[in-house]
Amino acid sequence: MLDVLLSGLVTGYAIAVPVGAVAALIVTLSARTSWTVGAAAGLGVACVDGLYAAVAVIAGRAVAHALKPVESVLQGIAVAVLLLIAGLTLLHALRPAPGRDDGAGRTWTPLRAWATFVAITAVNPATVVYFAAIVLGGSVHLHGLSQGAVFIAAAFAASASWQVLVASLGSGLGHWISGPRGRRTTGILAAVVIAALALRPLF
């Protein structure tokens, strides 16, 4: 069970840590409004990460037996998908950051921030593809509902803790973590972790 817990935490952090447009929005939103509003926005992102982890776990359990004859082929595809995500994460980290609008003209409340960032994150298909590739690719071995629940809870907790930390960094270090150097550092770190998760079944 400890292995499942750690796998969930690593998986959650690997998808949450790359500083892209959403994280940059959380940083600037927190800096220009309040920590409460920024944290609510971050928890909105974490809720979607947790939901997508649950979808991947449930779907993975449902189709695992049916796909048993082609398990090795699917595992190879999953490894390729994760390596592609790692490559894209690295590419995104190394390219210049696009301009962004932090929505400073809006009147933000914690509820509005949460709902807005739930919607922003929900339309990103890369998250569910990432979790599905992790579960179906064999990087994480889940047996029974209890282990699935632990994995989902750990992935949510990892994402939530990171997003709240990002909101906390809205002032001070927030300028660094949303800047070019911070984006490169967190992006490279996440790419390495994702690649390691992809290659784990091969070893």
pLDDT tens-place string over residues 125-135: 566 667 666 66
- Domain parsing of the chain, residue ranges: 2-202
| Model pLDDT, residue 40 | 94
pLDDT category at 193 given cuts 50, 70, 90 is confident
As a whole number of angstroms, the distance between CA 73 and CA 93 comes to 30
Q: What is the pTM of this model?
A: 0.63
CA distances from 110 to 15, 168, 189 (A): 23, 14, 30
Q: Within 33-179, where are the H helices? A: 35-64, 71-94, 110-122, 125-136, 144-168, 174-177
As a whole number of angstroms, the distance between CA 137 and CA 115 comes to 32
Task: Give per-residue pLDDT as tens, 124-179.
Answer: 656 666 766 666 665 566 676 788 788 889 889 998 998 888 888 876 665 566 56
In this predicted structure, the answer to whether residue 105 has a pLDDT above a threshold of 50 is no
